[in-house]
Amino acid sequence: MRILVIGSGIAGLTTALLADQDGHEVTVLTKTDDPLICNSRYAQGGIVYNAPEDKPDLLYNDILNAGSSMTLPAAARLLAEQGPSILKKVLLDTVKVPFARRNGDFALAGEGAHSLKRILYSGDNTGEVIITALLDYIKKYTSVKFKSRRMVLDLITIPHHSADPVSVYDRNFCLGAYVYNFKKNKVKKYFADKVVLATGGIGQVYKHTTNPECATGDGLALAKRAGARIVNMEYTQFHPTTLAFKEAGNFLISEALRGEGAVILNKNGEDFIAKFDKRGSLAPRDIVSRAIQSELSNKRSDYVLLSLTDMEDSFIEKRFPGIFKKCRQYGIDIRHEPIPVVPAFHFSVGGVLTGLNGRTSIANLYAVGEVACTGVHGANRLASTSLLEGVVFAAQAVNDMHAHPGDLRHREKEIKEWDQPSGREQADPVLLNQEWEVLKTIMWNYVGISRRQLLLSRALIRLNGMQEEIDSLYRESRISKKLSEFRNAVTVSRIIADSALKNKSSIGCHYRVD
């Protein structure tokens, strides 16, 4: 069976690895030059495992509490009960990811809203260590094919892309993708019996984000155009601590620092977050982010401070080498000085709706990782569960695909070629960059950490106008990566703003001040 995986983060690579082990023909598409460049790579803190004294019910309850009554109990139960064993099988026993150890055992960290220390980590670059290990293993021991510098423009679905008029009576199903090859400047049809969206996050729709440049919401936009069901997109999680230097590009200051005892203070050295939540700096991310935003607004400050004064110098250098080095570049010695921090967009809690088996509402189309909404995160993600979710639900999806095989080769001949007339000019990249900055500003100011109806309504009016303009430009211009990404980003922004406007309740990381 042919399986096409779109994306090379932890969910996509786990899918590829397990599908190959089941004997399937697997191709991984990535729009970046190197599959190592993905959202998962930038995860600093770690991945949920379990402590010796841990129990599934403890993790289950922590997930539900963080999810603010919106978590799907069955999804949380699956993650809590099967997550550690699937992680062990894939990342520990097979790939052998070199997580940190202490006295021979795995070292475990604590993070906000966890009832105990249960986080596996590797310094402060856990995501990169995991992705590197997965890629090395897959390239050495499997037959998985990687195709880089290729961007999916649209999913191939029947009846939408069929030349057979009778196909209108078919149920909507996916059998591949139209893929743009940057190097050859051509669009090719990639057919598959199962297609897996593993495209990661949406961070580039916001002015301030911890996400890399590749996180433009492509998978969500693809799913939207194909007619898949998308839910919970108003739940956009902002990370409370990123480095407050413009040149640093919202470099993430991991929650793991607070798990090890770091405290957020205002410029007067006051622990102001305790006024909002008794857990203080270890409260859930949405509470901490709003507390910081309030402090910045009330005091007219540009940043707050993250103090590590209760940690030993040697521990700081060993436990957080990447953060230590990055801060030194900006003249901050975190052993003796607090880190200036501000919130930034971090994670999309909602996404393409799937069942516990990874299936979307479109037949033969699966979604895993951040692009998917499994129900695990509810209205607010518990720290370090996203990487585990990627592994667990990738395994679920592969099991389902293997149990329900299919061969769609007989339908390929009816699929239309990509319509790309010659002679079209390329869209002005300067204009695209300007429009993208406008989009980011609208999303940050109107659809940010705290929201109100008037601003959301204005945002949606402007975003609807931008959608009409970019769709027109897309039809009239030559295909390019930047143009396609911007089109996707506008589509995703509209979904977020519309969802936020319709939900008048403050739940989790969706906060309405009105």
Q: Do the beta carbons of residue 191 and residue 158 sit within 8 Å?
A: no
3-state secondary structure labels for all residues of 105-141: EECCECCCCCCCCCEECCCCCHHHHHHHHHHHHHHHH
Q: Do the beta carbons of residue 509 and residue 379 sit within 8 Å?
A: yes
Q: How many CA atoms lie within 13 A of 105 on its CB side?
A: 9
> At residue 163, what is the residue type?
A
Distance of alpha carbon 218 from alpha carbon 222, whole angstroms: 6
Q: Locate 445 and state its tokens.
A: 């100011």
Helix (H) or strand (E) holding 408: none
Q: Locate 233 and state its tokens.
A: 């997109």
Task: Give every strand in the sheet of 194-197, ordered side by side.
Answer: 145-147, 25-29, 2-6, 194-197, 365-367
Q: Could you tell me the sign of the dihedral formed by the alpha carbons of 253, 254, 259, 260, in that order?
A: negative
Q: Do the beta carbons of residue 68 and residue 507 sit within 8 Å?
A: yes
Residues tagged active-site: 285
